[in-house]
Amino acid sequence: MKILVINCGSSSIKADVREHATGAFVARMDIERIGQPNATLRFDGEDSTTDLGQVDHEQALKKTIDLLLKRLDDPGAIAGVGHRVVHGGARFTHPVRITSEVEEAIDELASLAPLHNPANLAGIRAARKLLPDVDHVAVFDTAFHATLPRRARTYALPYEMANDPGLRRFGFHGISHAYVAQRAAEFLDADVRDLRLITCHLGNGASLCAVEFGRSIETSMGLTPLEGLVMGTRTGDIDPGLLIHLMREHGYTADKLDELLNRESGLAGLSGVGNDLRDIEARAADGDDHCRLAIQVFAHRVRKYIGAYAAIMGGVDAIVFAGGIGENSALMRHRIAQRLDFLGARLDEDRNRELQLASLQPVQMFSTPHSRTRLLVARTDESRAIAEAVSKLILKSDELTLDQRPIPVAVSARHIHLTQEAVETLFGPGYQLTPRNDLSQPGQFAAEETVKVVGPKNEFPAVRILGPTRSLNQLEISRTDEFTLGIDAPVRASGDVANSPGILLVGPAGQLKLEQGVICAWRHIHMTPDDAEHFGVKDRDVVEVAVASGDRDLVFGDVLVRVSEKYRLEMHIDTDEGNAANLGRGATGTLISTEGRAQLRRRNTRYDAVNPAAE
């Protein structure tokens, strides 16, 4: 299967055709100076270029795609197109198949990435016109960082601003960080979900990422790619007070600050000789003090972040260098990785100096054999990562239509489980629940009886009791119900009611003030061990389930798997979730992935630790 990968920048386009199984290049093309009078096109890294004159993105892409297709033996072999999109905002946390709605959403995100998203979108629109019959998939640079915890993604602004979804840390280079983390884990013969890694993407743009058990939990770029490390022409971190000072005392406008911080600073600004580290290193060796300073400030900043990320993760198994500088500059690696013995990372000077990445050895180690923390160099390959994401999505949808057992989806309205003691308090001594109708899970029933639930703001006069009685009282409501009642209940698995809010229940024979027990049920699938084997999952795995309702198809993430001989295959969601997907009776879903394993494992640990006997 051949995948076309398009990286459409503001003035350049890179287009690669990759073989999905091997990652091999089938063809590649670069176009530069789009929008200028003298755009050029270069094939497969050849020296000669073809002049295109003045072209816009659409014209440039048309030329690129026409020429690429001519070079392929079988032009129909392109199975999908992957588009790199810089900003996916809070919405896009995975690669998505592009529809006009996705295009609109990328357009709306342009204000967050004015240099990048419009160009990315121009490429998408042109390519979809030119190749209308294949899947187009957007792969986002921000997506890998969707797992940043709130404390890491929040700027300490006034609360309302800090919670503005457009004013937070997003992080970038996610495609590269995820890719090198995965490659490093393979090199170490370990599962990325068992490792704490610091990935250093050091190129013209540069960022660090703390990859804890497969998930990004901290990264150095923020709302924009300006935060963090020193870069080719960007300052990285700077005291925001300096900006105020420049505005007040030196008359800087927003545009002038933008120019200063994004294009006139960093290695180029400090060194005065441009942003190419090779030149800077050569001049530093000849005694140029500006260039020496540029190297020192760059390395110092990276070291500072490495220390911080090791502290955040409570240790680190490997530090991985990638990007033009990380992969090629032994000097910069040396300056960054020396004297990290306190972290357990011992640099092997000879290996570092002699190291040369090759296509057969795209990951290499430059720490000493006994170094507890490994120092690695990994060749990043964003276009391959994009091709892999596209083929995975295409194969996954093929799988979906082929051999998956459909999962019946049931929408649970608000309901309550009670102890026998609670039943007697509410309905009188010795009272027994009366079964009204059987539920799908064997032995479970909806009772004739209902109970009044009284919240601080409103009440529900008749909430159905489900039987038989249990060892814990538990009211399961939707988020909308929470707002109506005026309480804030956590999303929990059934039986896990510790530290949940309480509520007042009123029955015909008495009242009962629950101290705890109100939860918003964690969406889950009940299944038998046979089902679990069929789907390749285990009890307490967290999976994704796609539901197709025609006009509101939805993929539910964070679905908890519960396996028992006593269960029957069924997914349970609440009314809010059912409405979101427009689900009616007889709806089914398809299990599509278990990608969130690292998340799941950590969750499980917490979940089991909190409540070992949870039902």
Residue 45, marked binder: no
Q: Is 326 known to sit in a ligand binding site? A: yes
Residue 319 C-beta: closest distance to ligand AMP, Å: 18
> DSSP letter string over 109-142?
GGGTSTTTHHHHHHHHHHHHHHSTTSEEEEEESS
Q: Rounded distance, CA 313 to CA 199, Å?
A: 13
**By rule CB under 6 A, what count of residues binds ligand AMP?**
13
7 is in an annotated binding site: yes
Q: Kindly compute the dihedral angle of the four CA atoms of residues 555, 520, 90, 560, in this order, to the nearest 10 degrees.
A: -40
Vertex 590: Cα angle to 588 and 591 (nearest 5):
140
Judged by CB, which is closer to ligand AMP: 129, or 300?
300
Q: Is 375 annotated to bind ligand? A: no
Q: Is residue 328 annotated as involved in ligand binding?
A: yes
221 binds ligand AMP (CB under 6 A): no
Distances (CA, A) of 126 to 8, 62, 101, 108, 256: 11, 7, 16, 18, 33
Which of 258, 276, 595, 615 touches ligand AMP (CB under 6 A)? 276
d(CA 294, CA 286): 14
Distances (CA, A) of 449 to 133, 152, 477: 56, 47, 17
Least distance from C-beta 205 to ligand AMP, angstroms?
6
Closer CB to ligand AMP, residue 141 or residue 496?
Answer: 141
- Does 9 sit near ligand AMP (CB under 6 A)? no
Q: How far apart are CA 301 and CA 251, in angstroms?
A: 29
CB of 484 to ligand AMP, least distance (A): 53
Options 9-17, 57-65, 274-282, 539-547: segment touching ligand AMP (CB under 6 A): 274-282
- 328 is an interface residue for ligand AMP by CB under 6 A: yes
CA 281 to CA 301: how far, in whole Å? 17
- Which CB, 11 or 441, lies closer to ligand AMP? 11
| Minimum gap (Å) between residue 24 Cβ and ligand AMP | 21
Minimum distance from residue 172 beta carbon to ligand AMP (Å): 13
Which residues have a Cβ under 8 Å from the Cβ of 483 and sit 6 or more positions away?
Answer: none
278 assigned to a ligand binding site: yes
> For residues 277 and 390, which CB has a smaller minimum distance to ligand AMP in the complex?
277
Q: Write a three-state SS string for 301-338.
A: HHHHHHHHHHHHHCCCCEEEEEHHHHHHCHHHHHHHHC
Look up 141 and say whether it is catalytic: yes
Q: Interface with ligand AMP includes 143 (CB under 6 A)?
A: no
Binding residue for ligand AMP, selected from 112, 325, 378, 385, defined by CB under 6 A: 325
Q: Is residue 324 within the footprint of ligand AMP (CB under 6 A)?
A: yes
Any known ligand binding at 325?
yes
Contact set for ligand AMP, span 477-516 (CB under 6 A): none
User: Is 414 flagged in the annotation as binding?
Assistant: no
**Is 604 annotated for ligand binding?**
no
Please check whether residue 387 is in contact with residue 3, taking contact to mean a CB–CB distance below 8 angstroms.
yes
Q: How far is the CB of 325 from ligand AMP (least distance, A)?
A: 4
Residue 216 dihedral angles phi and psi, to the nearest 5°: -75, 120
> Was 315 annotated as part of a binding site?
no
Give the shortest CB-201-to-ligand AMP separation in angstroms. Answer: 8
Which SS3 state, helix, strand or coil, does residue 34 take? coil
* Angle of helix 240-250 versus helix 254-263 axis, rounded to 10: 130
Q: Which 170-209 positions form the footprint of ligand AMP (CB under 6 A)?
A: 203-204
Structure token pair of residue 215: 């998930």
Which one of 232, 362, 507, 578 is in contact with ligand AMP (CB under 6 A)?
232
Element (H, E) at 179: helix 174-187
Q: Is 204 annotated as ligand-binding?
A: yes
Stretch that binds ligand AMP, among 192-200, 301-309, 319-327, 589-597 (CB under 6 A): 319-327
- Sort 118 into a burial class: Cβ within 10 Å, 0-12 / 13-18 / 19+: middle
Active-site annotation holder among 16, 141, 541, 574: 141
Tokens of 18: 């990759």
Contact 462, 432 (CB under 8 A): no
| Contact status: 278 vs ligand AMP (CB under 6 A) | yes
Contact map string, positions 279 to 308, toward ligand AMP, x by CB under 6 A: --x---------------------------
| Segment contacting ligand AMP by CB under 6 A, of 8-16, 271-279, 343-351, 590-598 | 271-279
Alpha carbon separation from 378 to 199, 310, 321, 359 (Å, rounded): 9, 19, 6, 11
- CA gap 167, 152 in Å, rounded: 13
Note whether 228 binds ligand AMP by CB under 6 A: no
Given a contact cutoff of 8 angstroms between Cβ atoms, the answer to whether 520 and 478 are in contact is yes
CB of 354 to ligand AMP, least distance (A): 14
CB of 226 to ligand AMP, least distance (A): 16
Is 68 labeled as ligand-binding?
A: no
Are 195 and 185 a contacting pair, CB within 8 Å?
yes
Nearer to ligand AMP, 325 or 559 (CB): 325
User: Closest-CB residue for ligand AMP?
Assistant: 324
Residue 275 sits in the site that holds ligand AMP (CB under 6 A): yes
Name which of 328 and 367 has its Cβ closer to ligand AMP: 328
Cα–chain center distance at 239: 29
Is 323 one of the binding residues for ligand AMP (CB under 6 A)?
yes
Residue 206 vs 497, nearer CB to ligand AMP:
206
Rounded to a whole number of angstroms, the minimum distance from the CB of residue 306 to ligand AMP is 19
| SS3 state at 241 | helix
Is 170 in a helix, a strand, or coil? coil
The count of other CB atoms within 10 Å of the CB of residue 433 is: 19
Binding residues for Mg(2+): 7, 382
Binding positions for ATP are 14, 201-205, 276-278, 324-328
Q: Which residues line the annotated binding site for substrate? A: 84
Question: Would you please indicate which residues are annotated as catalytic (active-site) residues?
Answer: 141
Residues found near ligand AMP in the complex (CB under 6 A)? 203-204, 232, 275-278, 281, 323-325, 328-329
Annotated binding site: 7, 14, 84, 201-205, 276-278, 324-328, 382
